[in-house]
A and B are shown apart, each in its own frame.
Chain A
Amino acid sequence: MMAMAVILSFLFPLVGTLILAFSAGRLGPRASATVGVGSVGLAALATLWAVLTHTGGSQGVTLWNWISVGDFQPTIGLAVDGLTLVMMSVITGVGFLIHLFAAWYMTGEAGITRFYAWMNLFVFSMLLLVLGDNLLLLFLGWEGVGLCSYGLIGYYYQNSANGQAAFKAFVVTRIGDVFLALGLFLIFMELGTLDIATILARAPELWEPGSTTANLAALLVLGGALGKSAQVPLHTWLPDAMAGPTPVSALIHAATMVTAGVYLIARLNGLFLLAPDVMLLVGVIGAASLLLAAFAALAQTDIKRVLAYSTMSQIGYMFLALGVGAFDAAIFHLVTHAFFKALLFLSAGAVIISCHHEQDMGKLGGLWRKLPVAYGGFIVGGAALVALPLVTAGFFSKDEILWQAMAADQTGLLIVGLLGAVLTGLYTVRLILGTFHGEPGSDHARHPEPGTNVFTHHLPLVVLAVLSTFIGAWIYPGLGELFPQAPGETTDSGHTLLQVLAMGAAIAGLALAGWLFLMRRQWLDDIARKGAGARLWTLWHHAWGFDALFDRVLVRPWQWSVRMLRFDFINMIMNLPAVVARVFNAGLVRAQNGRTRSYALVMVFGATLILVALALAPGGGA
């Protein structure tokens, strides 16, 4: 029963993709949307069925034998446990709501069929990623979601900047993927298998904790996770990825794909526990990304870029949790983050469409009375983002992460986490004030057209808003028994103190933001306009200059070497046969002119030539 449900869940999006991709423009916008949304809806129902029929533990589903060579008989198989089901529920549940919202968002856009074909393919690949029982199948899904991300970032391909952004995302994540591929090679070479359960069983037997091989394998896998999850230093693609349609940003670049790195590390937890140094590195990278992105989010003017940096910052929290060994807390935050970040992105999408594709905070403002649904979405989602105590989902998951960091005696990470919570309050309040309050900055913001469709506009926002409150934290089943013991499970001392601290940090952030942006606005603007303040603003606005650095260190030398190689001498010699062939071709093409009379002429000329030659040849002619 469960096997059937699981297979159906990823078969529906695949069939949807195939229908859309092979319709070749024969489906109208409505039909495309119906197929696209319907397939993910059915996948969500199948997932629900799978959750209901799952009997606990890890259940395998073998699809078929891949090849059969002697003893080597790799199967294409799925493994379904609690973690998989949680991920599937997020992918298909949140995915369905986002698809539904996209039906409203994408109305009137060109290429709806292409949009839904990519979106369905994405859902399929992502499900494959979380379902695969071996790393190879996971890698297939991993590459599949990267491809779909590329196709959807570059959705508005007529603007070349979007193509550039898609290209950048593809190349940067590919760098991570190379590391992951190398990691897989190493694991296969050392352990002789890519089956996840076998790896987790065999690795502790063969590898000493902290040995070089274990460290290297974990490090390479981490490289892949960093690229996909947009963590320092492979994070530069994520803000640019906002060039895609907003539902894409919500689904791929906030709720699901970017959390694939978190899933990967949580799935391979046994491997990482063998490499304590790499674990620490995971936590440090998470903390660094968390802080860098939070500061960068403070200085953005584009609402989607603020959300992009906040996504990066929140994934930083998840990495921090993974780093201290609190895998369950990381997945918990992944789930709540998927709810509230999807809500924030969809609300931003509602604002953007209502204001005719205006997404600059300077040109928005004063919208709260005119766009009440989007405003409500922002308030609830923003509250969950800053982890407003007790009533929001974000509070419970973020509190869990900070508590685990404290229990693991990682005071440095804990302080960064608390500081991040304050900064989150700052940029969230700035985002909401800049978008919904104050004076409208343009005519588009003065006369917005609010979304009215109850089914495709209100429903996804309301459902996600409900899930962003403490209800979202309640429905998370808790996966503690799947993972090795987290540090916070053994002790309970200081938990209350930590909760007070976390609440304090969130409220301090909000209070500070309120004081700064409401009372001291003028003062703040003055600081940002001149001297050191202006320089800091520029630095944060460009996210600490990583783009410029990579451009100098990597992109330009590369382009230079490519320019040099254009005049490659050896290449010219290699091209010689081609040039000769082309010259002959040109001559022969001229001979084939299609005039029978000239053919006859040439024939006579040739025959005469042969006769003369025979006549003149020595010993011939007689």
Chain B
Amino acid sequence: MNGIPMEHGLILASILFSLGLAGLMLRRSMLFVLMSLEVMLNSAALAFVVGATAWNQPDGQAMFLLVITLAAAEASVGLALMIQLYQRFRSLDLDVASRMRG
């Protein structure tokens, strides 16, 4: 089990997190924004798993289950919103939905 050092796992997690964050901020399509959010959630989950393995603690595994559940819930809400967005604006572009004129 000690084949992979903890640092490698954490670096992978932070790379995934950064990719997700960049996608969240740069993408305009809601589909990709949702995917980016999934990537970020999974990177955080990965960090939990890596930590749990390194310190032999079951808490990290439990947190992983929680994160996965959360991601599923988030995906269902996000997809529902996406369908609404598409029906209203005939587009997945998030900036189109910006109607606020403070």
- Give the interface of A toward B (CB within 8 A): 589-597, 600-601, 604
A604–B33 Cα gap in the complex (Å)? 15
Residues in A whose Cβ lies below 8 Å from that of B102? 589-593
Do residues B33 and A596 form an inter-chain contact, with CB atoms below 8 A? yes
Residues in A whose Cβ lies below 8 Å from that of B99? 594
Residues in A whose Cβ lies below 8 Å from that of B33? 596
Residues in A whose Cβ lies below 8 Å from that of B49? none
Do residues B24 and A600 form an inter-chain contact, with CB atoms below 8 A? yes
A593–B94 Cα gap in the complex (Å)? 12
Do residues A596 and B100 form an inter-chain contact, with CB atoms below 8 A? no
- The answer to the question of B25 belonging to the interface, with a C-beta cut-off of 8 Å to chain A, is yes
Complex interface residues of chain B between 38 and 96 (CB less than 8 A to chain A): 94-95
Complex interface residues of chain B between 5 and 62 (CB less than 8 A to chain A): 21, 24-28, 33
Residues in B whose Cβ lies below 8 Å from that of A593? 98, 100, 102
Q: Which 9 A-B pairs give the minimum distances between C-beta atoms?
A: A594-B100, A589-B102, A594-B98, A595-B98, A592-B102, A600-B24, A600-B25, A596-B94, A601-B25
Residues in A whose Cβ lies below 8 Å from that of B24? 597, 600
A594–B26 Cα gap in the complex (Å)? 16
Main secondary structure on chain B at its contact with chain A?
helix
A601–B33 Cα gap in the complex (Å)? 13
Do residues A595 and B94 form an inter-chain contact, with CB atoms below 8 A? yes
Residues in A whose Cβ lies below 8 Å from that of B26? 597
Do residues A595 and B25 form an inter-chain contact, with CB atoms below 8 A? no
Question: What are 22 A-B interface contacts by the 8 Å CB criterion?
Answer: A589-B102, A592-B102, A593-B98, A593-B100, A593-B102, A594-B97, A594-B98, A594-B99, A594-B100, A595-B94, A595-B95, A596-B33, A596-B94, A597-B24, A597-B25, A597-B27, A597-B28, A597-B94, A597-B95, A600-B21, A600-B25, A601-B25
A591–B21 Cα gap in the complex (Å)? 21
Residues in B whose Cβ lies below 8 Å from that of A604? 21, 25
Residues in B whose Cβ lies below 8 Å from that of A595? 94-95, 98
CB distance from B97 to the nearest CB of A (A): 8
Tell which of B25, B33, B97 has the most Cβ of chain A within 10 Å.
B25
CB distance from A147 to the nearest CB of B (A): 41
A589–B102 Cα gap in the complex (Å)? 5
A389–B11 Cα gap in the complex (Å)? 118
* Smallest CB gap from A590: residue in B: B102
Residues in A whose Cβ lies below 8 Å from that of B21? 600, 604
CB distance from B10 to the nearest CB of A (A): 15
Residues in A whose Cβ lies below 8 Å from that of B100? 592-594
* Smallest CB gap from A595: residue in B: B98
Besides A589-B102, A596-B33, A597-B94, 19 other A-B contacts (C-beta < 8 A): A590-B102, A591-B102, A592-B100, A592-B102, A593-B102, A594-B97, A594-B98, A594-B99, A594-B100, A595-B94, A595-B95, A596-B94, A597-B25, A597-B27, A597-B28, A597-B95, A600-B24, A600-B25, A604-B25
Residues in B whose Cβ lies below 8 Å from that of A600? 21, 24-25
A601–B25 Cα gap in the complex (Å)? 6
Residues in A whose Cβ lies below 8 Å from that of B27? 597
A33–B49 Cα gap in the complex (Å)? 83
A600–B27 Cα gap in the complex (Å)? 11
Residues in B whose Cβ lies below 8 Å from that of A596? 33, 94
A330–B44 Cα gap in the complex (Å)? 96
A596–B33 Cα gap in the complex (Å)? 10
A583–B93 Cα gap in the complex (Å)? 33
CB distance from A71 to the nearest CB of B (A): 60
A125–B95 Cα gap in the complex (Å)? 59
A591–B102 Cα gap in the complex (Å)? 8
Tell which of B28, B95, B98, B102 has the most Cβ of chain A within 10 Å.
B102
